[in-house]
Amino acid sequence: MSDELNYKIFARLHTQPETSQRALSKELGVSLGKVNYCLQALIEKGCIKANNFRNSDNKKAYAYFLTPKGVEEKAQVTLRFLEYKQNEYEALREEIDGILKAIDTKG
């Protein structure tokens, strides 16, 4: 799993633990199977726990809660994802600066 996908899953579950796999799939733009795979991997790593809604009409509905290990992993993933995005931003900024300089020299 990528840090970006992990980051987005952790962020969503942190604020909305009752989010369905289908909603996550739609929001993240990935298949339902991939979301299921990612959630199962996070459960196996001990980062999240899945609990059934007892009072739900839909007995397959789950709430996903971050465990203490999950909170720590979320922080690490967030830092790595932020570093990646900052590097991406810097690279884009340099590319844009180069394009602007090329335009200025032709004008």
The per-residue pLDDT for range 46-100, each reduced to its tens digit, is 999 998 866 556 556 789 999 999 999 999 999 999 999 999 999 999 999 999 9
Q: Is residue 38 a contact partner of residue 6, using CB atoms and an 8 Å limit?
A: yes
**Percent of the chain clearing pLDDT 90 (strictly above):** 80
Q: What is the pLDDT of residue 78?
A: 95
Q: What is the amino acid identity at position 82?
A: L
* Residue 47 DSSP code: S
Q: What is the pLDDT of residue 61?
A: 78
Q: Is residue 69 a contact partner of residue 48, using CB atoms and an 8 Å limit?
A: no
Domain extent for 92? 3-106
Closest C-alpha to 83, from 26, 7, 23: 7
Number of domains in the chain: 1
**How many angstroms separate the CA atoms of 77 and 96, rounded?**
28
Q: CATH no. for residue 84?
A: 1.10.10.10
In whole angstroms, what separates CA 5 from the centre of its chain? Answer: 4
| Backbone phi, psi, residue 18, to 5° | -85, 5
